[in-house]
Amino acid sequence: MAQLIGLLSGLISALRIVIPIIVRFIVNKLNNVQSPPSTLTFRERLRLLKPALKKVIVELNTFQYFPHNDRQLQYQRYATRLYIFLIIISVTILAGYNLMDTSIHRHTVTNPSESQYLILEEDNPTDLICKCANISVSYSSFITIQPQLHQVCLSYLIKPEWMMHSDSQSWAAQNILDYRIAARKQFQTLAILCEQAKSCYPIEALFSSTLECFYNESCM
């Protein structure tokens, strides 16, 4: 928008300079329409045009106000030349900026593979943006969990054979405080707890979950 405003202001200023010259030229042509046709050659016309053009440039005044004296007129002409010079410099800078300005092209790659992402990251190390909108990486793709339960859950103490052996020994116990009387029930309870631990361990739930983005604009 700023460039457009600058170009429009420069165009308006240029028209303020050019239009009076064109109007003066048309008026002179209309005044001399009845004059006899000129027999001057093209080179002679160029020779006559040179002082006329020089006079127009010297006397050019876009800040003309009436009434004014010779000193004010001279200052107005100086201001006009400075104004034109600044316009030329501004237009040159804007044109150079537009020529050197690199246009930005945005390209969206939906669900890129790892190889595509690495190529894009290599080509655009500073401009690449990877927005995390969907699930990206599952835990099972880069981690492996092997749970280790307590040794008692893998021992012979929770086997059915040991239960039967404990049951046979309970009949031989005579004292109520003998451990063999309640051994079978305790080992059965221990076996139930071990089975519960194996079935409730959240391995599958963890593998089915996903790794969310670490950052708002990019993700690992």
Domain range list for the chain: 2-33+40-100, 132-211
Phi/psi at 210 (5° precision): -130, 160
Quote the percentage of the chain above a pLDDT of 70.
58
Out of 70-74, 96-100, 101-105, 119-123, which region has the weakest mean confidence (pLDDT)? 101-105
- By the 8 A CB rule, do 188 and 163 touch? yes
Q: Which of 83-87, 175-179, 195-199 has the lowest average pLDDT? A: 175-179
What's the CA gap between 93 and 7, in Å, rounded?
Answer: 11
Q: Which two tokens stand for residue 119?
A: 């190529």
Q: Retrieve residue 167's tokens.
A: 């049951």
Instruction: Please state the φ and ψ torsions of residue 138, each to the nearest 5 degrees.
Output: -90, 150
Cα-based angle 146, 148, 151 (whole degrees, multiple of 5) = 155
The tokens for 48 are: 């006559």
- Mode of pairing for the β-strands spanning 137-138 and 210-211: antiparallel
pLDDT band at 84 (very low <50, low <70, confident <90, very high): confident
What span, in angstroms and rounded, lies between the C-alpha atoms of 179 and 128?
A: 71
Dihedral, 63, 64, 67, 69 alpha carbons, nearest 10: 90
pLDDT score of 125:
78
Angstrom distance (rounded) from CA 28 to CA 2: 39
Cα–Cα distance, 141 to 102 (Å, whole number): 41
